[in-house]
Amino acid sequence: MSMNCWNFSGDLLGYGRRGSEKFPKIWLRVRLPSARVPLPTDKDDTVLVQENILFVNIDLPQTEAGSRFEDAIKTANYIFVHNATMAAIKRSKKLPNGTWDTTDVRGIKAKINSIAVYDKKPPDINKAVIHGKVVKQQDNVIVVEERYRNVATGEWLTREIPLVSSKDLDTNLPSKYVTAFAQLLGVTRDGVSKVYGVADLIIRM
Q: What is the pLDDT of residue 58?
A: 95
Q: How far apart are CA 24 and CA 115, in angstroms?
A: 17
The DSSP 8-state label assigned to residue 41 in this structure reads T
Residue among 158, 157, 156, 165 at smallest CA distance from 196: 165
CA 180 to chain centre: 15
130-142: pLDDT as tens digits: 999 999 999 889 9
Per residue of the chain (205 residues), give pLDDT as tens.
Answer: 678 999 999 999 999 998 777 889 999 999 999 988 886 555 567 888 989 999 999 999 999 999 999 999 999 999 999 999 999 998 777 778 877 778 888 999 999 999 999 999 999 999 999 999 999 999 889 999 999 988 889 899 999 999 999 888 888 999 999 999 999 999 988 889 999 999 999 999 8
Amino acid in position 76: A
**What number does CATH give the domain 3-204?**
2.40.50.140
d(CA 184, CA 175): 24
Burial group, residue 163, by CB count within 10 angstroms (0-12, 13-18, 19+) = buried
pLDDT at 43: 57
Per-domain boundaries in the chain: 3-204
Return the DSSP state at 71.
H
pTM of the model: 0.90
Q: How many residues does the chain have?
A: 205
